Amino acid sequence: MRRKLVVGNWKMHRTREANARLIEGILKGRPFAGDVVVCAPFPFLGDLAAMLKGQDVALGAQDCSAHEQGAHTGEVSASMLAAFGCRYVIVGHSERRADHHESDKIVADKAKAALAEGVTPIVCVGETLAQREAGQTEAVVTRQLSTVTHTLAQHISKIVIAHEPVWAIGTGKTATPEQAQAVHALLRARLAAVTPHASELRLLYGGSVKADNARSLFSQPDIDGGLIGGASLKASEFVAICKAGA
Ligand code: 13P
């Protein structure tokens, strides 16, 4: 039985002052039935690690370097994240793939670097609207996933995968539960071909998840929770989504 997982991706939002109120609101909303993670911008990690110490809401980051250490100005290594108490890191978000031209290989190497430090990578895959309309969804997510499965080999069972259709991110257009389930079932079938642990891996859906659509998405057989953008910035909304994972 897979535990549900709800991850808030704060992206480049929030202020240092507002974080305390948001975290307070989230903690007040407990108990949650599944696991809950907040992924914050790098400069906030120290404050948040202190606020979440001993709490059952885990801390995550939104990216890490594919390199272990070295002359890579502006990059943050997985070991630095681990030192600040991060248990998760998002890699390969479509915004990073687009803004920073991250290739499938770089994303896979980042996942590998995270795992080496005991940080669980949440690897994002997803198709654009043009790709979906051209009937390429399966091919695109299969290509994105296969680079990761190839790079991580037997360690693939230690990651979390998030399917985020690019056309659903921040647009208010959510994939229907059936559309999302179809892609998740495909991802799980692809995973089953390379690991005996495919049924244990958690597959998250992301893209305009809100309190009022979370339950119908999370009740699909291969959707194990969500990666939440905008709705993770409001405590009551995020708490409702975390409870929808029950
Ligand atoms: P929204 O929930 O704002 O659509 O963002 C989804 C996302 O990109 C989470 O990583």
For residues 160-177, average pLDDT? 94
Query: Residue 94's closest CA among 34, 169, 42?
Result: 169
pLDDT of 245 > 90? The answer is no
Tell how far the Cα of 237 is from the centroid of ligand 1, in angstroms.
Answer: 14
Q: What does the pLDDT look like over 203-232, one tens digit per residue?
A: 999 999 999 999 999 999 999 999 999 999
Q: What is the predicted pLDDT for the residue at 50?
A: 97
- Extract the tokens encoding 27: 């903690």
What gap in Å lies between CA 11 and CA 221, rounded to an integer? Answer: 28
Considering the four listed CATH numbers 3.40.50.720, 3.40.960.10, 3.20.20.70, 3.20.19.10, the one that applies to the domain covering 5-244 is: 3.20.20.70
From the alpha carbon of 93, which atom of ligand 1 is closest?
A: 10
pLDDT of 246 > 80? The answer is no
> 185 or 246: which carries more pLDDT confidence?
185
Q: What is the pTM of this model?
A: 0.98
Tell how far the Cα of 103 is from the centroid of ligand 1, in angstroms.
Answer: 20
- Extract the tokens encoding 29: 């909303």
What gap in Å lies between CA 151 and CA 155, rounded to an integer? Answer: 9
Ligand 1 within 6 A of 233 CB?
A: no
- Burial class of residue 221 in the structure, from the number of CB atoms within 10 Å of its CB (0-12 exposed, 13-18 middle, 19+ buried): exposed
N-term to C-term CA, the chain: 13
Contacts of 230 (CB under 8 A, 6+ apart): 170, 208
Q: Which of 62, 218, 228 to mutate to test the pocket of ligand 1 (most atoms within 8 A of CB)?
A: 228
> 9 or 246: which carries more pLDDT confidence?
9
* Cα distances (angstroms) measured from residue 100 to each of 96, 107, 112, 131: 5, 11, 19, 20
Q: What does the pLDDT look like over 53-111, one tens digit per residue?
A: 999 999 999 999 999 999 999 999 999 999 999 999 999 999 999 999 999 999 999 99
Known catalytic residue at 164: yes
Q: Structural domain boundaries of the chain?
A: 5-244
What gap in Å lies between CA 99 and CA 150, rounded to an integer? Answer: 25
User: Would you call 3 helix, strand, or coil by DSSP?
Assistant: coil
Q: Which of 88, 128, 164, 171 to mutate to test the pocket of ligand 1 (most atoms within 8 A of CB)?
A: 164
Tell how far the Cα of 196 is from the centroid of ligand 1, in angstroms.
Answer: 30
